[in-house]
């Protein structure tokens, strides 16, 4: 009983007890579902109840920053209604502009204030210091000490801000109508399975489900359990095991090992981050279905990708589609450019040079400018390709910055943007692009996977400049030795078995994966329960020490 009391008390912890891998969360979810079973028939009561549960869930992770979430929801709800009833296009444009500024300021202030202020001070030799006005105001309202004066990152701010933006923009574009009542909107934004780590839910996909009665068939229930168990296996058995027993050991002291071991660690990291994030979304999707709501899949076997473009169609699909619809296409997409495209690209290039101190990039940018100018002057309609390339690069840099406030994420986004641009031209001249043989297919996957793994060095290492240190270690101390390789395999035997099995399962044909899901769904519920109990027991035997948090919890 004491444990239940701690879960539902208003005592704020660090939020770690309510993550999907902890018993506290499952007790929280079980009790929430018991109450839900009595309330679900009244749709308004259901929305109010799930909003309250979700806000409490957020409160347990971020404390009084739940007031920020409430403010964001309330402002965007009324902005959506005002846009819909606005008497003129000019009024609608003013409202959507205010909405964009409001949401970007929330995200920019809480996630990027230190990053941009430090970058500004470094670029211009100034010494500005940040003042947390939100915390000062909050302490005046709720009492001294309610908020720390350092600007803290509220959990899930990137996800719920993007959901709010998409809702208001979709109303502006007349793609959807405003929700019927305030609590339907609060429920849409705060729905706790996806609140802190996604997937990013679009209003047009989710809000129509709010008016539908609760419906859960045996097949829906079985499918949900499969997703949850699959997610737990990915997170605990694969992701956590790899990062605790191999990846962090190598990455923290790369100089203690030959360079090729760092390559093995980064291959493991690619599997780790996929298993970690897709594991979370699998569980979120399964939990949502148990409550009668369907979320779209967020991953589609990304390491089966045969090109960078194919990879980004398969990885974090909700973010990719959001960036496409609300940034890439408004900038002009494949068709053209805007003034914003040119302003943004100048800012990005300037920013990259100053934060990296790679002044050699000036020659690269200068050379590319000359190439593009020659192309515009000599090739018909080439300007369209210039705009497309600018818009792609801007979108990917913003996508990188969305993941975190550091120069490493900016570089990571820029590299992926550059790769997408190069691929757009390469596929026009590649002699094997349209071939479908086994060797060609394997080669495409191999190249794509290793490029993505290479860029993940900037994703994994937090400290600025450390990726170059690791690359220098790999390049100058590769020193492959068969004896050392065998020793590493022997020392980390369990790790490599997990990697091999993980990649094999990932690369299995979809038909095989569908088959085992269908077989599980056909067996009686009592047998399903026994199977799940055994699997869960075995999963938790692999936990050693404190389990690492989900990677995307910090985004």
For the stretch 480-498, pLDDT in tens is 888 888 998 999 999 999 9
pLDDT given at position 448: 96
pLDDT given at position 546: 67
The 8-class DSSP code of residue 40 comes to T
pLDDT given at position 226: 93
pLDDT given at position 335: 76
pLDDT given at position 379: 83
Contact 447/438 with Cβ under 8 angstroms? no
Contact 268/246 with Cβ under 8 angstroms? yes
DSSP string, 167-219: HHHHHHTTSSPPPSSHHHHHHHHH-HHHHTT-PPPPHHHHHHHHTSPP---HH
Using 50, 70 and 90 to split pLDDT, how confident is the model at 355? low
Q: How many CA atoms lie within 13 A of 491 on its CB side?
A: 12
Q: Is the pLDDT of residue 343 over 90?
A: no
pLDDT given at position 133: 67
pLDDT given at position 163: 93
More confident residue, 371 or 49: 49
pLDDT given at position 273: 95
Instruction: Output the CA torsion 252→258→259→260 (10° steps).
Output: -110
More confident residue, 29 or 386: 29
Q: Is the pLDDT of residue 359 over 70?
A: no
Q: Cis omega (within 30 of 0) on the bond before 230? A: no
Query: Can 403 be counted among the known catalytic residues?
Result: yes
| Percentage of the residues of the chain whose pLDDT score is greater than 70 | 91
Q: Pick the closest to residue 158 from 191, 216, 205, 109 (CA basis).
A: 109
Angle between helices 339-356 and 407-429 (to 10 degrees): 120
Contact residues for 126 (Cβ-Cβ < 8 A; gap 6+): 120
pLDDT given at position 465: 78
Using 50, 70 and 90 to split pLDDT, how confident is the model at 2? low
Is the Cα dihedral 545, 546, 549, 554 positive or negative? negative
Q: Pick the closest to residue 412 from 328, 342, 325, 312 (CA basis).
A: 312
Using 50, 70 and 90 to split pLDDT, how confident is the model at 238? very high
Average predicted confidence (pLDDT) for the chain: 86
Is the Cα dihedral 117, 118, 119, 125 positive or negative? positive
Task: Kindly report which listed range (338-352, 421-435, 474-488) carries the lowest average pLDDT score.
Answer: 338-352
Q: Is the pLDDT of residue 444 over 80?
A: yes
pLDDT given at position 360: 65
Using 50, 70 and 90 to split pLDDT, how confident is the model at 296? very high
The two tokens of residue 206 are: 């989710």
Using 50, 70 and 90 to split pLDDT, how confident is the model at 434? confident
The two tokens of residue 151 are: 């600007």
More confident residue, 45 or 479: 45
More confident residue, 101 or 549: 101
Q: Is the pLDDT of residue 14 over 60?
A: no
Q: What is the rounded average pLDDT of the residues 84-91?
A: 90
The two tokens of residue 386 are: 């210039």
Can you tell me the distance from the alpha carbon of 412 to that of 68, in angstroms, rounded to the nearest whole number? 30
Can you tell me the distance from the alpha carbon of 15 to that of 59, in angstroms, rounded to the nearest whole number? 9
Using 50, 70 and 90 to split pLDDT, how confident is the model at 145? low
Contact 37/75 with Cβ under 8 angstroms? no
Using 50, 70 and 90 to split pLDDT, how confident is the model at 78? very high
Q: Is the pLDDT of residue 9 over 80?
A: no
Q: What is the rounded average pLDDT of the residues 246-273?
A: 91
Residue tagged active-site, from 272, 387, 403, 506 = 403
pLDDT given at position 23: 83
Q: Is 130 helix (H, G, I), strand (E, B) or coil?
A: coil
Can you tell me the distance from the alpha carbon of 310 to that of 419, in angstroms, rounded to the nearest whole number? 12
pLDDT given at position 289: 95
DSSP string, 507-555: HS-HHHHHHHHHHHHHS-HHHHHHHHHHHHHHHHHT--SSPPPPGGGG-
Contact 149/135 with Cβ under 8 angstroms? yes
pLDDT given at position 356: 63
Q: Kindly report, residue by residue over 162-200, the tens digit of the pLDDT.
A: 999 999 999 999 999 999 899 999 999 999 999 888 799
Contact residues for 306 (Cβ-Cβ < 8 A; gap 6+): 441, 444, 445, 448
Most confident of 85-89, 298-302, 336-340, 384-388: 298-302
pLDDT given at position 229: 93
Q: How many CA atoms lie within 13 A of 286 on its CB side?
A: 20
Q: What is the rounded average pLDDT of the residues 68-80?
A: 94
Most confident of 19-28, 310-319, 470-479: 310-319
Contact 292/40 with Cβ under 8 angstroms? yes
Can you tell me the distance from the alpha carbon of 209 to that of 72, in angstroms, rounded to the nearest whole number? 22
Most confident of 107-116, 144-153, 262-271, 334-343: 262-271
Can you tell me the distance from the alpha carbon of 4 to that of 403, in angstroms, rounded to the nearest whole number? 34
Q: What is the rounded average pLDDT of the residues 309-325?
A: 94
pLDDT given at position 22: 85
10 Å Cβ neighbour count for 166? 21
More confident residue, 544 or 169: 169
Contact residues for 17 (Cβ-Cβ < 8 A; gap 6+): 6, 7, 24, 25, 60
Can you tell me the distance from the alpha carbon of 394 to that of 56, in angstroms, rounded to the nearest whole number? 37
Using 50, 70 and 90 to split pLDDT, how confident is the model at 366? confident
The H or E element spanning position 34 is: helix 23-39
Most confident of 59-73, 300-314, 531-545: 300-314
Q: Is 375 helix (H, G, I), strand (E, B) or coil?
A: helix
| Percentage of the residues of the chain whose pLDDT score is greater than 90 | 45
Can you tell me the distance from the alpha carbon of 137 to that of 243, in angstroms, rounded to the nearest whole number? 40
Task: Label each residue of 318-369 as H, E or C.
Answer: HHHHHHHHHHHHHHCCCCCCCHHHHHHHHHHHHHHHHHHCCCCHHHHHHHHH
């Amino acid at each position: 009983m004491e444990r239940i009391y701690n879960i539902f008390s208003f005592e704020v912890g660090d939020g770690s007890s309510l993550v999907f891998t902890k018993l506290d969360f499952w007790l929280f979810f079980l009790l929430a579902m018991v109450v839900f079973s009595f309330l679900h028939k009244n749709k308004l009561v259901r929305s109010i109840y799930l909003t309250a549960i979700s806000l409490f869930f957020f409160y347990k992770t971020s404390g009084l920053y739940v007031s920020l979430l409430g403010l964001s929801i309330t402002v965007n709800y009324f902005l959506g209604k005002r846009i819909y009833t606005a008497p003129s296009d000019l009024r609608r444009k003013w409202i959507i502009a205010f909405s964009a500024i409001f949401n970007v300021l929330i995200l920019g202030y809480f996630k990027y204030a230190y990053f941009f202020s430090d970058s500004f001070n470094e670029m211009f030799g100034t010494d500005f210091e940040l003042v947390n006005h939100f915390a000062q105001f909050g302490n005046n309202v709720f009492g001294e000490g309610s908020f720390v004066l350092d600007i803290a990152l509220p959990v899930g701010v990137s996800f719920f801000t993007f959901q709010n933006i998409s809702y208001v923009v979709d109303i502006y574009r007349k793609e959807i109508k405003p929700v019927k009542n305030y609590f339907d909107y609060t429920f849409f934004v705060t729905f706790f399975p996806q609140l802190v780590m996604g997937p990013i839910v679009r209003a047009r996909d989710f809000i129509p489900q709010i008016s539908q009665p609760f419906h859960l068939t045996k097949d829906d229930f079985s499918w949900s359990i499969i997703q949850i168990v699959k997610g737990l296996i990915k997170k605990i058995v694969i992701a956590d095991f790899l990062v605790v027993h191999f990846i962090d050991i190598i990455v923290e002291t790369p100089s203690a090992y030959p360079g090729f071991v760092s390559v093995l660690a980064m291959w493991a990291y690619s599997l780790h981050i996929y298993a970690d994030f897709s594991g979370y979304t699998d569980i979120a999707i399964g939990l949502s279905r148990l409550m009668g709501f369907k979320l779209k899949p967020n991953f589609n076997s990304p390491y089966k990708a045969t090109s960078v473009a194919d990879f980004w169609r398969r990885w974090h699909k909700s973010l990719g589609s959001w960036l496409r619809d609300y940034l890439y296409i408004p900038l002009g997409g494949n068709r053209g450019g805007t003034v914003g495209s040119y302003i943004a690209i100048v800012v990005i290039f300037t920013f990259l040079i100053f934060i990296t101190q790679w002044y050699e990039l000036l020659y690269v940018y200068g050379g590319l400018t000359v190439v593009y100018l020659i192309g515009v002057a000599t090739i018909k309609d080439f300007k369209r390709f210039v705009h497309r390339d600018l818009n792609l690069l801007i979108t990917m840099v913003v996508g990188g910055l969305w993941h975190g406030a550091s120069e490493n994420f900016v570089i990571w986004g820029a590299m992926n943007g550059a790769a997408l641009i190069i691929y757009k031209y390469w596929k026009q001249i590649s002699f094997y692009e349209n071939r479908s043989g086994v060797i060609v297919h394997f080669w495409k996957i191999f190249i794509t996977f290793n490029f993505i793994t290479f860029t993940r060095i900037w994703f994994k290492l937090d400290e600025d400049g450390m990726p170059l240190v690791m690359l220098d270690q790999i390049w100058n101390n590769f020193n492959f030795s068969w004896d050392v390789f065998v020793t590493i395999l022997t020392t980390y035997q369990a790790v490599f078995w997990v990697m091999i099995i993980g990649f094999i399962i990932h690369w299995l044909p979809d038909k095989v994966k569908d088959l085992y899901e269908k077989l599980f769904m056909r067996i009686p519920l009592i047998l399903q329960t026994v199977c799940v109990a055994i699997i869960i027991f075995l999963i938790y035997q692999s936990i050693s020490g404190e389990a690492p948090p989900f990677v995307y919890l910090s985004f």
